[in-house]
Amino acid sequence: MRHLIYIFFAVLVFSCNTKSQKTTESESSEVSDSLKYEKEIHLKNVRQLTFGGNNAEAYWSFGGDQLIFQSDYSEWGVSCDQIFLMNVADAKRGQELPLISTGKGRTTCSYFLPGDTTIVYGSTHLGDSLCPADPPRSVDGKYVWPIYEDYDIFVADLGGNIVAQLTDKEGYDAEATVSPKGDRIVFTSMRSGDLELYTMKLDGSDVIQITDELGYDGGAFFSPDGTKLIFRSSRPKTDEEIKVYKDLLVKGLVQPTEMELYICNVDGSDMKKITELGNANWAPFFHPSGEKVIFSSNHEAKRGFPFNLYMVNIDGTGLERITYDEVFDSFPMFSPDGKYLVWSSNRFNGGGRDTNLFVAEWVD
């Protein structure tokens, strides 16, 4: 799921004219409604948490006081995505956060395990200690991003020590998230020859395949009660679309520009498509009520951007726009108590390329 932020990087090449405002220079993280737009009525007391690099997929601890996220911020000594830990209350400008991945390969999609003393994340470091090559921006004029075959899923403690390897199948295994019930992990894998969703126990046992339709199923999250899954999928239908998908997949590439949201029970039953918006609809996460989903979309865009956050009922009705950024808002996640929303944004960065983390009080 992490590579979807490359959509944003491509957008920035064409966004030099985007109107922006400079971030206030402050030695501490900022708490201000000047960091939100007027129409963002669900957000209050917006606070900026990071101040450089590309920071994405920040996910809360079960206790709601820490965030685990990935960053390529060079001032923290990394050259591609690695996993970092943040105590939310202490976040401030200039702070170097602890690295809790190996610092080798490329990492993605970290998530706390119950107890908040260990995390799960995907990493390519067993295949190569160096960062894998960046993908081509396009193939035959079509925007693409990579599925690195060296990704496997690991468990590490907060000191950065790997304590378990959960997957060892050939090909891509990543995008792991954990049920609020603390009993299972959902992830995306190529083990069937296609990109499908699976669940497993926390020790990597009892692997169950959830999806089985051609296309890329990924970025899945559990509902608050642990009974459902929400995910995004690009499912080709026409002969031409199927050929393009299969040809790219052989090269370790996918095209993420057409994606919709699906919901199902944790065993894969009662599968329903809940959006039909067009363009890229992705990064979904359940509202604390379990009756709505927040997600990122560019369906209103004419040029591929902006991406903003939207909310929709789980039956597909009641679409509501949440953010009004001019370039990129994505990777939303509610805190366990439902009081806060964290997300990644290009907002108020002076027109640069940095993608930072923001947190706000949520107003229903």
Read off the pLDDT band of 23 (50, 70, 90). very low
Residue 277 lies in a domain: no
The DSSP string of 267-307 is: TS-S-EE-----SBEEEEEE-TTSSEEEEEE-TT-SSS--B
pLDDT tens digits, 239-274: 999 999 999 999 999 999 899 999 999 999 999 999
pLDDT tens digits, 195-234: 999 999 999 999 999 999 999 999 999 999 999 999 999 9
Residue 77 lies in a domain: yes
User: Looking at residues 338-358, what average pLDDT do you find?
Assistant: 94
Read off the pLDDT band of 11 (50, 70, 90). very low
Read off the pLDDT band of 22 (50, 70, 90). very low
Q: Can you give the three-state secondary structure of 81-132, one letter per residue?
A: CEEEEEEHHHCCCCCCCCECCCCCCCEEEEEECCCCCEEEEEECCCCCCCCC
Contact call for residues 199 and 266 (beta carbons, < 8 A): yes
Which CATH number does the domain housing residue 244 bear?
Answer: 2.120.10
Residue 214: what pLDDT?
97
Distance of alpha carbon 1 from alpha carbon 21, whole angstroms: 29
pLDDT tens digits, 118-136: 999 999 999 999 999 987 8
Read off the pLDDT band of 31 (50, 70, 90). low
Residue 353 lies in a domain: yes
Res. 24: pLDDT tops 60 = no
Residue 102 lies in a domain: yes
- 57: tokens are 């997929």
Residue 225: what pLDDT?
97
Number of domains in the chain: 1
Res. 14: pLDDT tops 70 = no
User: Looking at residues 37-52, what average pLDDT do you find?
Assistant: 96
pLDDT tens digits, 159-189: 999 999 999 999 999 999 999 999 999 999 9
pLDDT tens digits, 46-79: 999 999 999 999 999 999 999 999 999 999 999 9
Domain that holds residue 185: 2-218+240-248+328-362
Alpha-helical (H) ranges within the chain are 5-13, 239-250
Residue 305: what pLDDT?
85
Residue 306 preceded by cis peptide, ω within 30: yes
Residue 60 lies in a domain: yes
Res. 16: pLDDT tops 60 = no
Residue 232 lies in a domain: no
Please name which of 53, 117, 61, 62 lies closest in space to residue 82, comparing C-alpha atoms: 53
pLDDT tens digits, 263-305: 999 999 999 999 999 999 999 999 999 999 999 999 999 888 8
Which has more pLDDT, 329 or 17?
Answer: 329
Residue 193: what pLDDT?
96
Residue 286 CA, distance from chain mean position: 13
Which has more pLDDT, 91 or 185?
Answer: 185
Which has more pLDDT, 5 or 286?
Answer: 286
Residue 97 lies in a domain: yes
User: Looking at residues 327-356, what average pLDDT do you find?
Assistant: 95
Which pTM does this prediction carry?
0.91
Residue 18: what pLDDT?
30
Residue 9: what pLDDT?
43
Range with the largest mean pLDDT of 23-32, 90-99, 105-114: 105-114
Residue 282 lies in a domain: no
